Structure 1
Amino acid sequence: MRNQGLGSWPVRRARGTPDKTALIHRGRTRTYRELCGRIHALANGLQERGVGRGDRIAYLGPNHPALLETLFAAGTLGAVFVPLNTRLAEAELTFTLHDCGAGVLVYDRRHTETARSLRERVPDLLLIATTEEDAPREDVESLISAASNDFRDEPVAAEETALVLYTSGTTGRPKGARVSHRNAVWNALNVLVDVDMSSTEVTLLNAPLFHSAALGMTCLPTLLKGGTVVLEERFDVETTFDLIERFRVTLAFGVPTMFDALSRSPRWPEADLSSLRFLLCGGAPVPPELIRRYSARGLPLMQGYGMTEASPGVLLQSAAESAERIGCAGKPAFFSDVRLERIDGTTPSVDEPGEILVAGPNVVDGYWQRPEESANAFTADGWFRSGDLATVDEDGVHRIVGRIKDMFVSGGENVYPAEIESVLHEHPAVVEAAVVGVPDPVWGEVGRAAVVVGAESPVETGQLAEFLAGRLGGYKVPKRIDLVDELPRGATGKVDKQAIRRADG
């Protein structure tokens, strides 16, 4: 085939396992043969409307077969897929569409009002709904029904851009990471090797696919291997238990809060989870107590570390070591390389923090239309600068200690918030915790913690301070601890530490 990218996957899968179930959504199944036919029909329909090589196709909506069909149809045409975060404000979505130059927006009908408003701000935008609406409009089903599903083999090179995935923009305007077909393929290969996935995998996807973790660490590897993806539009505790039992789910991905909610449910002790082989947990540091909770049920909660710019896998803790090395992010992905660097460019000693630098075929070459920022993101010898700090032990196992910008200096000592947060999570009453450095007239900076505690486990801030004092050096114990109902979060779901710094009082 001339197409060497993601667009070739549907054909390759359909010829290998045509009758295997590829997708399950709302109880409806689609085989790889059916999925391939729909993707090619959609690609032909899009081409008839002027979409071609290099054009950007945005998607706004929850997990749905149309998301994956649009992604692979874009890859079939040599176009670029741009998934949009549904939690963004309209102004942020407008910025993203202008920044990537999207000509098409495929949207879920629940976002109809937003889509129409966006077209007023981006006048040349072609709107295509995922399903038929009351008013006659272009929709994916109509395109697929009207177009031919004849096989097409556009020449697409592995180095061409497959997706533009926008970062959270915590340090300014969001930047679109250029994920090439090569990046996506090699990341999927890393997952297949390190997680040891099989063609019989049944993967539950109820974390949003507009994030690189759900897409790159579970969805694409499952489809590459020929497994089955169970698509769920949102996370719900009861539904998750039902789906695991009904479809005998073997693999699931989630952020710590999702796994925590499952383990706190009344159904947790009796739920049939015997089919589960792998549970991948990422997006935030995984509390040690959560790992112990799952280990007690014989479930390996595999944690790791990644970033959008690495498509996204960088480090992964194996299932066998997940309970033994609690709090660690693991070793580099099979085809990736990681090294640590001090601020002066030298290599830190064992267990000394340094910035994570990563290189490999899964690492992007830069940001969409951001040449200066792209250049600044890499070292002179081509390693991507993560901005994150980690230590590595004598066995090559890494432990994340925080962001460079989050580290603060108290009385001349470096303090890493991730270390304090990890210890706070060991307290049985603590559900979530975040620590920041704030100015202090005596020490320069001191810690400030925002903590969410369980309703069933009331605790005083003084008790939490005593708990920390027994486990950490005095300069690391936050001078102030606030009990809050929830941690402030940005549009991507990450904790907004600037909001904690700005909190009154």
Structure 2
Amino acid sequence: PSAAHRLRDALGVPVIQGYGMTELSPLAHNQRPGDPVGRGAVGRALPGTESRIVGLDDREPLPAGAVGEVQVRGPQVMAGYLHDEEPSRIDAEGWFSTGDVGRVDDDGVLHLVDRLDDVFKHDNELVSPAAVERVLAEDPRVAECVVADWPDPVHGGVVWAGVVLRPSAVPPDGPPHAVLDVLDSVAERANEHLAPFERIRR
């Protein structure tokens, strides 16, 4: 959203978000001028285009607000890949599985959350590493961060975070464990803003 606002202010024109890919020739959703700019919001489906969110396991359509894989059906969906030996990403009813994770709000606006390859399950909940990274990056002590799943025999996966601290975050003459203390504090601060299944465990 901050990039969209900067562009709008600098260029003096509406800046809207869209969503598509090569397989969709290439657009499936877009915002209209005047739509609020929100993180991940890419607008409503184009005329003649259908969109839905399905569960990752049962592939059943989900209600508004639920997070799952984005599927699209419409005249812009490709016929298939040339010489594709993999199972088709288009089902018998014409729904194309995008590989993106999202949700649709009550107004029919699609919000993208992550890529299917990146999300993982903690119990029955989907964890988006990108969402956890955004929370970590808001801490002024964090220079860079990356989040991934750590295998867990009980929960399936837990959140692991790799953090690079800014030089100013740790006193140069501090005790040897000072870095670990700061990292613990960074994780605690982030966890206050995360759902229980998203919290950093390692």
Task: Please tell me the TM-score bracket, short chain as reference.
Answer: 0.7 to 0.9
1:398 aligns with 2:110: yes
Instruction: Judge conservation of contact 1:289–1:426 (CA < 8 Å) in 2.
Output: no
Deviation at 1:415, TM superposition (A): 1.9
In structure 2, C-alpha distance between the alignment counterparts of 1:308 and 1:384, rounded to whole Å: 12
**2:191 matches 1:472:** no
Q: How does 1:193-232 map to 2 (within 5 A)?
A: none
In structure 1, C-alpha distance between the alignment counterparts of 2:134 and 2:104, rounded to whole Å: 17
2:53 is aligned with 1:340 = yes
5 Å matches for 1:13-162?
Answer: none
Per the alignment, residue 387 of structure 1 pairs with 99
User: Is the aligned partner of 1:408 residue 2:120?
Assistant: yes
In structure 1, distance between residues paired with 2:7 and 2:162 = 25
2:131 aligned with 1:419 = yes
Which segments of 5 or more consecutive residues in structure 1 lack a partner in the other structure? Answer: 1-287, 481-505
The alignment status of 1:320 with 2:34, answered yes or no, reads yes
Residue 118 of structure 1: aligned partner: none
Q: Which structure 2 residues correspond to residues 353-392 of structure 1 after superposition, within 5 A?
A: 353-370=67-84, 372-373=85-86, 376-392=88-104
1:331 lines up with 2:44 in the alignment = yes
Give, as a single letter, the amino acid of the residue that structure 1 aligns with 2:72: V
Q: CA 1:359–1:452 in structure 2 vs 1: closer, same or farther (change >3 Å)?
A: farther
Over the aligned positions, Cα root-mean-square deviation in angstroms equals 3.3
Give the number of the structure with larger relative contact order, counting CA–CA contacts within 8 Å between residues 6 or more apart: 2
SS at match of 1:465: helix
One-letter amino acid of the structure 1 residue matched with residue 80 of structure 2: G
Give the structure with the larger strand fraction: 2
Aligned CA distance change for structure 1 residues 442 and 354 (closer, same or farther; 3 Å): closer
Q: CA deviation at 1:390?
A: 1.1
TM-score, normalised via structure 1 length? 0.33
**Structure-1 residue corresponding to 2:158:** 446
**Deviation for aligned residue 1:446:** 1.0
Taking the aligned partners of 2:83 and 2:42, their CA distance within structure 1 comes to: 32
| Whole-Å separation in 1 of the counterparts to 2:61 and 2:40 | 23
Rg comparison, structure with higher value: 1
Report the CA distance between 1:476 and its aligned residue: 0.6
How far 1:397 moved relative to its partner? 0.9
- Gap change, CA 1:308 and 1:427, over 3 Å in 2: farther
User: In the alignment, what sits opposite 1:311?
Assistant: 25
**SS of match in other structure, 2:41:** coil
CA distance in 2: counterparts of 1:339 and 1:435, whole angstroms: 28
CA gap of 1:328–1:290, structure 2 versus 1, over 3 A, is same
Residue 365 of structure 1 deviates from its aligned partner by 1.0
Residues 301-341 of structure 1, C-alpha deviation per residue, up to 9 Å, x if partnerless? 53333222113322333442253x33322222345331222
SS where residue 326 of structure 1 aligns?
A: coil
Listed as ranges, the gaps of 5+ residues in structure 2 are 171-181
Query: 1:406·1:437 contact (CA, 8 Å) conserved in 2?
Result: no
SS of 1:471 mapped into structure 2: coil
